[in-house]
Each structure stands twice: as structure tokens, then as C-alpha cells.
Structure 1
Amino acid sequence: MMSTETNLYPAALNGQAVDAADLSPLAFAGFAHFTAIQVRDRKIRGLDLHLKRLHNASLDFFGRALPEDTLRARIRQAVDAGPQDQSLAVTVFSPKGEFTRESMEGDLAVLVRSGPPSNGPKGPLRLAVVEHERPLATIKHVGESGKTYYLHQAIRQGFDDAAFIDRHGRLSEATIWNLVFFDGETVIWPKAEMLTGTMMGTVQRQLERLGMPQRQEEVTLSRLKELSGAAVMNSWTPGIAVSAIGSRTFPEARAFMDLLHRAHAAEPAEAV
């Protein structure tokens, strides 16, 4: 008998319910990309950014992309089939597998998995500093064991998570998070090779509409002492306070956190 959670949060492959046989080729697959979506009241904030992410990543990975109407239909089916509030993971891959020429041919497949809604941890978070550059950093792809590995390493050191610093000494992102900073007047986004998050995109455009100054700059460890606030964000939340990055500590910066959440709240929620 299927569990209640399985019934409540179904998965669909190309619009059809999946079983173990359908999913077995994906058990160890590493050549696929995805986007993570939070659904509230059957609506999605930043839907255009999720669709753009899937389109662009498909072109980068496979040289072709699914029509937007197809992606919308797959997402809409999951939204309609699940609770009003839920999490979705939309993964695009080649049914031909990987390590073969054939993976670049034929139609692409879409797996949509549903789960309970999430707002992320409460925070504040203390981040260890790790020298690491994610491969294909601008694409949200699967098979990145390094993110979990460095999370566990950070916890063993007494931190909550890890922030990445590149070979040039620039902070880029955290394990599953974008980083964002505040100098008391301006919101600062790190300048480095990294994934541009959908939450990051929605917050940026709403900050612009609110008339809040923001800029992108290289943020080094020595630069941190000049900043008055730090936070992480991803599809779960527009901001969780960061109280430390390595040995550098930050004040609570409530005004900064309120600003990030206010920007997110200003983003219209859209039915698929």
C-alpha cells in the first residue's frame, strides 16, 4: 500500500505517474538539471525565472529545449494534483542516458516531484569558509555531492553550513544558497562564478522597483569587516540571517532581513 505522503505528493514523468521501473535509470544519473519551486495557494512567485532557467540550462546541456507550454503543463499538472501549498522539483534529462552520443538526440523528459512546503531553517546561520568552485556553476544541475560533503564538514567544525570562496579569494555562494550582504545603505551581491537563483532574481527586481540601491561587487573575507549584515536565500526563503562567516561575525540586521522579505512579498504570485 502506498503511504499517505506518497499519495499526497505524487511524482510524474512526462505527465504520467511513475513507478520504480520508470525511476531506476535516474538512480545514479548525473547529467540533468532542475529547478526547485515553492507553491503557495496553488500559485508561484517568479515562475518566469523558473521557466527561463529550465530553457537556458537545456540549451547548455542538450542543445535543445522543451517548449514553454510543455513545461507549464507539467508544472500545472503537479500543482493541481497536490495540496495548495507544496514544494516541486522539476528535472529535465535525456531518456537516452549519459556517457553516450545518443543522449544528445531525441525528446527530453521532465520529472516533477512533489513534497511538503518549506520555508527553510529559522537561523541565524554560522557558515564555515571552504575553497570550492562548483562545476558548471551557472547551471542548477544534479549530482553535486560536494555541496552535501562540505555541509557535513562544516557541521563537524561547529558551523551550520558552508560558504564557498573561489581561487581568486571571492565569496561566491553557499552550499544550496545565494549569499547577499548589506553595508547599511546598499544591498550587495557577490561577483563571482555562481548560480543566479530564482529567489535572487525576484528579490533583485523588486528591490529595483522599491528604489533600493543594490550593486554587484567582489566580496573577499577582508571586505566582510566593512559590512553590517549578511544573509542566505534560495527557493525556500528570501532571507535567513547569517551571524558568522568563518571568524567574521555579523549583527542581527533586522532592517536588512525585513527588506529582503518585503521585496519577496512584493513579487506577484502567478497561477501556472
Structure 2
Amino acid sequence: MPTETSLFPAALDGRAVDAADLSPLAFAGFAHFTAIQVRDRKIRGLDLHLKRLHNASLDFFGRALPEDLLRSRIRQAVNAGPPDQSLAVTIFSPKGEFTADSMQGDLSVLVRGGPPSNGPKGPLRLAVVEHERPHATIKHVGESGKTYYLHQAIRAGFDDAAFINRQGRLSEASIWNLVFWDGEAVIWPKAEMLTGTMMGTVQRQLERLGVPQRQEEITLERLETLSGAAVMNSWTPGIAVSAIGSMAFPDARAFMDLLHRAHAAEPAEHV
């Protein structure tokens, strides 16, 4: 009987990995990644994933891998696994951490497959936590704060946590981008945060659909005037949020339908 490992093989620099390959990564915290959903061996927003990996590599390592190499590594994983799967593409220095050696030499690519996901059903209730992710614009590993505040939120009776910065502005949630609705326009928080690949695909498709959207500094007081809230990440273009802290939101079905329609308009492509 096939195991999950055999169904979703992992590859390091294009070859199968073993325990010796993975042991240096057990406690690794200096690496960045992107999370991809594959459906029918196709990917939506592939260009945004590749751009994320390129820019984060320049920020972290001062150098980046060629796009054709990254495409090759992703293609290998797509073809090796089932038609529908989740992929995590992680880039790191084999020289390790806490050393100047990692500033030089080749970078490695670890591609891991797993079962496809569409995220939780929702709606979600989010606790408000004052937290600013380090290197917030980069999707990097080693962020204990996201899980820590998720657990704290659940203990307090919520489903997850939304982050608010020192200026009192909402930025993002634990593993999600936040997005809001005022009844006419889609509103994105204006704060230091990660620009998600799902966020990018939805934004450009909303523009093509002629839907008004804008960035705005979202305070807790501003929430009282909004008509809907949602979270999104690589799993899904939108899960309804029913409350942020003590602020409850109405069932904005039209808003959710709009987010999902925008995502569906994004062409899926082979790698």
C-alpha cells in the first residue's frame, strides 16, 4: 500500500532526499519558501511564486537561482506526484546558518509535496494580537510567533490570530492575508506585511474585472464601518471572517463570491 511519502516525494536539488540530507534542516531558520497548490498538474500565479523566490533570495543571500532552474525543480515535483497536491519550495544555503560561509556558494532547493488543501471551511473568529513579523515582506521559515499566537488565540476561544502593529494598524493574520469589504470596494491593509501570491492573483483579476480596490490603514475603530472581512492564502482566495476581536462582521456572501470569482479567472498553467 503506498505511503504519503511515496505519493508525494521530496527532492533536494533535483534528487531524492534521505535522512542525511534532511538532518541539517531539522532546526534551520534561515531559509525562505513559497507554498503552491497544484490542480490537474497546473498552477495559478506561477509567475508570482517565481518572483517571490527570486526577490527573497536576493534579500537573504544576495544572489538568486535562475528561473529556468526553479521551473525545472517545480516541474519535476509536479510530474512526480499526483495531479492535485500541495508543494513547498524552500531555498537555503547548504553552508548552514550562523556563519559567513552562507554568503557565498550555491543555493539549494528543497521541494516537498503533500496532500492538496482548500483550507478550513470557516467562518473564522480572529483574536487581535500585537505582533510584527521579522522581515515581514519575506515568506521565511523559523517563525515561532505565528504558531505561538495561533495557540494563544485558540485558548482564548478564537480560531486564529490577526496581527496589529505598534501604530494600531492591522497587517495580516498568522498564515493569512487579511482583506476587507465596504460594500463597494475591496480594501487591503496598508502595513508592513507579506504580499501573498494569492493576494497578487486576486488583485490583478479584480482589476481586470473592473472591481474597485484600494489600500487603507485599518484600525480597530475602522472595522466598525466595514461590511465584510476575509482571510486568504495559497489554499484559498477567501474564507469568511465573522469577528476580529470584539468586532463582528455580517455574512458578506457577495464579497466572498467576488474573491472566488477573481481567483477562478486567473489562468492555470503548466510549469
Structure 1 length as normaliser, TM-score? 0.99
Give the C-alpha shift of residue 260 in structure 1.
0.0
SS at match of 1:54: helix
Unmatched 5+ residue regions in structure 1?
none
Q: Distance in 1 between matches of 2:212 and 2:112?
A: 37
Give the C-alpha shift of residue 226 in structure 1.
0.5
1:151 corresponds to 2:126:
no
Alignment match, 1:160? 159
SS at match of 1:130: strand
Alignment match, 2:245? 246
Give the C-alpha shift of residue 129 in structure 1.
0.1
C-alpha RMSD over aligned residues: 0.7
Alignment match, 1:115? 114
The one-letter amino acid paired with 1:196 is T
Count of matched residue pairs:
271
Give the C-alpha shift of residue 3 in structure 1.
5.7
Unmatched 5+ residue regions in structure 2?
none
Q: Distance in 1 between matches of 2:259 and 2:51?
A: 23
Q: Per-residue displacement from partner, 1:237-257 (whole Å, max 9, x unpaired)?
A: 000000000000001100000
Q: Per-residue displacement from partner, 1:46-83 (whole Å, max 9, x unpaired)?
A: 00000000000000000000000000000000000000
The one-letter amino acid paired with 1:132 is H
Q: Distance in 2 between matches of 1:61 and 1:90?
A: 15
Alignment match, 2:232? 233
Q: Distance in 2 between matches of 1:205 and 1:111?
A: 29
Alignment match, 2:61? 62
1:190 corresponds to 2:189:
yes
Q: Distance in 1 between matches of 2:58 and 2:108?
A: 14
The percentage of aligned residue pairs carrying the same residue is 89
Alignment match, 2:269? 270
Alignment match, 1:174? 173
SS at match of 1:226: coil
Alignment match, 1:137? 136
The one-letter amino acid paired with 1:262 is R
SS at match of 1:79: helix
Q: Distance in 1 between matches of 2:154 and 2:3?
A: 32
Q: How does 1:213-228 map to 2 (within 5 A)?
A: 213-228=212-227
Alignment match, 1:200? 199
Q: How does 1:91-106 map to 2 (within 5 A)?
A: 91-106=90-105
Q: Per-residue displacement from partner, 1:198-241 (whole Å, max 9, x unpaired)?
A: 00000000000000000001000000000000000000000000
Structure 2 length as normaliser, TM-score? 0.99
Alignment match, 2:37? 38
Give the C-alpha shift of residue 4 in structure 1.
1.2
Q: Distance in 2 between matches of 1:162 and 1:52?
A: 28
Q: Distance in 2 between matches of 1:30 and 1:3?
A: 31
